[in-house]
Structure 1
Amino acid sequence: MKTMKTLNVEKALAAIESDAGQTLPGLRESLLEAKAGVTAHVHTPAEMARRRGRPVGSVAAVTKQPVKLRLDADVLEALRATGDGWQTRINDMLRASLALGGRLPDPDA
């Protein structure tokens, strides 16, 4: 096997792109870097390990509880028609209603 220092970049580029059947952006630069001895960071298995769940800090500290709720079809349709985030808007409406009734602290106070 030839060492990278004796690599004919143009010949290797032509062979690789011929096999691929298309030009490959950045290939010439990558081959030139390899020939010059420039290497990328090698990742260890520990660095590549995937952890279960969401990344730390991506979830709000206050969590909401899932519930099963029965709504009239027309009410549900109207809420869903408001677009993404309709469940959050229901939560906000219920919170405001409970605050008006004195059952929760007023969020605007």
Structure 2
Amino acid sequence: MARRPSDPRAAAEAAFKPARPVAPPLPPRSTAAPGAREQVTLRIDSDVLELFQEDGAGWQDRINAALRETVRAQLAARSGDGAIRVDELSGENDDGAG
């Protein structure tokens, strides 16, 4: 049986080497507060961007509103019955009937 070569200095350094700190786990992304916004990088065609920026400040909010309107329309088309889910109820979608 062959002996393993050992280096006492390397063994000592390994024994006293500080351990790497373990990073805490990241929280799940679904814990965001309702209505919270997330910063992203988005590539938009120049002419589309110019259209939203024409009216000055607030262009990012206008882009968000346009995207939200598109998403709501797609969700309504998927549901097929035009019903509004309970978690989507607000004064904005109140038809005034009642």
Same fold, TM-score > 0.5, yes or no:
no
TM-score by length of structure 1 reads 0.38
- Larger RCO, structure (CA 8 Å, separation 6 or more): 1
TM-score with structure 2 setting the length: 0.42
